[in-house]
Amino acid sequence: MQQLSVVILAAGKGKRMVSDLPKVLHPLGGRPLLAHVLGTASGLEAAARLVVYGHGGEAVKTAFPSESGVLWVEQAEQLGTGHAVAQALPLLADAGVALVLYGDVPLIRAETLRPLVVAAQRGSLAVLTVELADPAGYGRMVRDERGQVCRIVEEKEATAEERRLREVNTGILAVATAKLRGWVAELDNQNAQGEYYLTDTVALAVRDGVPVEAFAVADAEEVQGVNDRRQLAQLERAYQRRQAERLMREGATLLDPSRLDVRGTVATGKDVLIDANVVFEGTVRLGDRVRIESFCVLRNAVIGDDTVVLSHSRIEEAEIGPGAQIGPFARLRPGTRLAAGVHIGNFVETKKANIGPGSKVNHLTYIGDAEIGAKVNVGAGTITCNYDGVNKHKTIIGDGAFIGSNTSLVAPVRVGKGATVGAGSAVSRNVPDGSLCLTRAPRKEVANWHRPVKQNNKD
């Protein structure tokens, strides 16, 4: 089988985006547009992936430091799609097949493209088309009396009759590299745009007796390009619909599929329930029977079976054990590890905290740089004073300890197993196992005391 090379055209400036950011770097689903196309190319098991870049080229290359094997080709002047492909051709082997994609067409799927590659491998020029109710702005597919594609006409060169055609060119094509090389060398720019059109290769293929096979895509959104922010927003919702449908197929219940945002990857167990306006970022794994209430944000998190995340909670770079309850209005920051059955309540913040099985941190509390054992109760308003202005210090709380409300634990400090810290204490020394620690100041009362009264000042 002939090797496949994928050429991705990504040199456009994207003036209509009105942005300093190169168009192909604008995010869709939390990733740059170009990242989606590169992922599709990887799904085709391409032997080579080439990106033709132009405007903002260095920024485009820098945005993909982990994309190994990508060849970057500069198009210093943007003289049309044919010219862009010409920049990549010297890096392609004649023995292979070339597939041309676009960095601003992010929703194209590998399964849609495979038939084009197969057709090219058997000697055809394969083109991808779509039928639109309103084809304005697109090149039209012109067919002969037998229904065979004979050429593509750009709208500016089309006759009135040709403009009425609704089958349009997506720009995506596949063909033997050797044939493509010869046809691109013949292209000229004698047209209304003054550009070298890759689409002109279709007429050259017909001239040379090469079969032209047109494959129609059913979903127009799959081949929709991004030219402005309105189109970007439309494709964002289309992408999110795909994610919602996938999650439901995999067994998750979405209370409102139209109000879900997946900006990364999400894997779910059985009988997961996700309420409206939940955002997933990075890599998120949800166990069986997890329930996520509305307005939560989860980023790079692992959530154990039977855990409930109540509304307006944010979980980032954290691992949650089974049977936990989080929130509402909780914030779990990077490095948080919760064991089974832990309760984290409203307005609680944790950071680099390991909290043992069955422990509770229920109200208005900050736990940072801490190791908390099993069955610990941390009262409302407790804080670990872990930062001295230069260094972070650890707080360690043993199994079964009870921390009274409004306690300040001044790290480094250890509270022993089964120890009790009275409410309102400021603990700066270790507390032995099983002991009671009280650091309250003695109560003082002043009888008949009057608050100062502000004097009238005529000045």
Query: 142: number of CA atoms within 13 Å, CB side?
Result: 19
Residue 71's pLDDT is what? 94
Read off the pLDDT band of 454 (50, 70, 90): confident
Question: Measuring CA to CA, which residue among 371, 317, 309 is closest to residue 344?
Answer: 309
Read off the pLDDT band of 458 (50, 70, 90): low
The mean pLDDT of 285-291, rounded to a whole number, is: 98
Report how far residue 156's alpha carbon sits from residue 241's, in angstroms, rounded to the nearest whole number. Answer: 35
Report how far residue 294's alpha carbon sits from residue 312's, in angstroms, rounded to the nearest whole number. Answer: 7
C-alpha distances (whole Å) from 423 to each of 59, 68, 343, 381, 408 are: 55, 57, 20, 10, 10
Number of helices (H), then strands (E), in the chain? 8, 35
| Domains with residue ranges and CATH for the chain | 4-223 (3.90.550.10), 246-437 (2.160.10.10)
| Residues in a beta bridge with 396 | 371, 414
pLDDT tens readout for residues 216-259: 999 999 999 999 999 999 999 999 999 999 999 999 999 999 99
Report how far residue 173's alpha carbon sits from residue 183's, in angstroms, rounded to the nearest whole number. Answer: 13
Residue 387: other Cβ atoms inside 10 A: 12
Residue 451 has pLDDT above 80, yes or no: yes
Catalytic residue among 55, 312, 363, 450: 363
Report how far residue 361's alpha carbon sits from residue 326's, in angstroms, rounded to the nearest whole number. Answer: 10
CA geometry: angle 229, 231, 237, nearest 5 deg: 105
Q: Is 61 exposed, middle or buried (0-12, 13-18, 19+ CB in 10 A)?
A: middle
The mean pLDDT of 367-383, rounded to a whole number, is: 98
Q: Structure pTM?
A: 0.90
What strand order describes the sheet that includes 291-292? 253-254, 273-274, 291-292, 308-309, 325-326, 343-346, 360-363, 377-378, 402-403, 420-421, 436-437
Residue 1's pLDDT is what? 63
Helix (H, G, I), strand (E, B) or coil at 397: strand
pLDDT tens readout for residues 66-123: 777 899 999 988 899 999 999 999 999 888 999 999 999 999 999 999 999 999 999 9
Report how far residue 279's alpha carbon sits from residue 319's, in angstroms, rounded to the nearest whole number. Answer: 17
Asked if residue 268 lies in contact with residue 292, where contact means CB atoms within 8 angstroms, the answer is no
Helix (H, G, I), strand (E, B) or coil at 363: strand
Residue 14's pLDDT is what? 82
Report how far residue 57's alpha carbon sits from residue 59's, in angstroms, rounded to the nearest whole number. Answer: 5
Residue 459 has pLDDT above 70, yes or no: no
The reply to whether 36 belongs to the active site is no
CA geometry: angle 207, 211, 215, nearest 5 deg: 125
Tell me the two tokens of residue 202: 């279709």
pLDDT tens readout for residues 19-58: 999 999 999 999 999 999 999 999 998 999 999 998 777 8
pLDDT tens readout for residues 121-131: 999 999 999 99
Q: For the chain, what percent of residues have pLDDT higher than 90?
A: 85
Asked if residue 296 lies in contact with residue 274, where contact means CB atoms within 8 angstroms, the answer is no
Residue 93's pLDDT is what? 87
C-alpha distances (whole Å) from 308 to each of 141, 273, 342 are: 54, 10, 11
Q: Measured in whole angstroms, how far is the alpha carbon of residue 192 from the centre of its chain?
A: 39
The mean-pLDDT minimum among 53-67, 130-144, 392-406, 415-429 falls in: 53-67
With a CB cutoff of 8 Å and minimum separation 6, the contacts of 147 are none
- In this structure, which long-range contacts are made by residues 231-234, counting pairs with CB atoms below 8 Å and at least 24 apart in sequence? 232/17, 232/26, 232/28
Asked if residue 409 lies in contact with residue 430, where contact means CB atoms within 8 angstroms, the answer is no
Read off the pLDDT band of 304 (50, 70, 90): very high
Residue 77's pLDDT is what? 87
Read off the pLDDT band of 441 (50, 70, 90): confident
Q: Is 27 exposed, middle or buried (0-12, 13-18, 19+ CB in 10 A)?
A: middle
Tell me the two tokens of residue 440: 């309250």
C-alpha distances (whole Å) from 165 to each of 136, 145, 387 are: 10, 14, 69
Read off the pLDDT band of 263 (50, 70, 90): very high
Read off the pLDDT band of 303 (50, 70, 90): very high
